[in-house]
Amino acid sequence: MEERRKSKRTRTYLGGTLAFSSRCASLDCIVRNLSDTGARVALDGSALLPDEFDFTVTRDDRCFRARLVWRNATEAGLVLLNPSDSSIETLDWAQELHARKSETAKLRQRVSDLSTGF
């Protein structure tokens, strides 16, 4: 079989997360191999995945935008769409930001309620 990958993948056994639906849904995975341009991940169950999603390698705290290339019952192949772009925030950071924005909105509403009471 002819190798079609642009870069050699390294075998790994790392934790990962696939986040989609505006990061409201996520799926844990095991990163089985990884390169500068793609990855193979092992998945539990037969969860449906969209065509594109955020992919985080947990140990390294690296986050990528990824596209699904192939999928079988237990594994999936991904291509990394932004391998050198570090501007994508990790899922943990995005969840923390969402919580802070929600808290800020509640505080603003409280200040508004107290201000109109006088």
pLDDT at 1: 44
The string of pLDDT tens digits covering residues 60-114 is 878 899 999 999 989 999 999 977 655 556 666 667 778 888 899 999 998 988 8
Q: Which residue, among 44, 46, 48, has the nearest Cα to 16 in the 3D structure?
A: 44
pLDDT at 96: 79
Match 């991940």 to its residue by tokens: 41
Dihedral-angle region of residue 115 (phi above 0 means left; psi in -120 to 50 means alpha; beta otherwise):
alpha
Question: What DSSP string describes 22-47?
Answer: TTTEEEEEEEEEE-SSEEEEEESTT-
pLDDT at 88: 57
85: buried, middle or exposed (CB in 10 Å: 19+, 13-18, 0-12)? exposed
Cross-strand bridge partners of residue 64: 55
pTM of the model: 0.66
**What structural domains does the chain harbor?**
10-116 (2.40.10)
The string of pLDDT tens digits covering residues 12-53 is 999 999 998 877 888 999 999 999 899 999 998 767 889 999
